Structure 1
Amino acid sequence: EYYKFETVLTIDLHTRDTVDILIRDGISEPLDFSWQCQLRFYWLSKEDNLFLQQCNGKFEYGLKR
């Protein structure tokens, strides 16, 4: 249980820091490089699948159902 908590806490702190940087730098457009270089997750309901996107790369998550 401790390792799960530690993992969630680490992810939350990283997310907080990333959002702080984006706000500080005035990043407000989806095409800004600072946003594009972040690893982002998108659920595409049309394809019923999760995709990861970063810069020009787009990858299927490949989760098992």
Structure 2
Amino acid sequence: MKSYYIESIDLWVLSINSVLKGEVRNAIAESFKKQSDKIHDVVVLDATVAPIEIISALSKKESKDCSVLKQH
């Protein structure tokens, strides 16, 4: 699993390299939110979505600030 934080919209993106059922994705997001009261929004992407590296590369090309998407 890889996690990314998009600072401009205060969003955590979790990328998991397997196919997950919807309820499993929701459980992972809820569990991640419970780690800190400062975490408000979490999106869980699985293998059915484009690899996060592709999304990251596109975001960096479109943004003047290459630190928009930070891997954690």
Question: TM-score, normalized by length of structure 1?
Answer: 0.31
Higher relative contact order (CA 8 A, sep 6+): 2
Question: TM-score, normalized by length of structure 2?
Answer: 0.28
Structure with the higher helix share, 1 or 2: 1
Highest CA radius of gyration, 1 or 2? 1
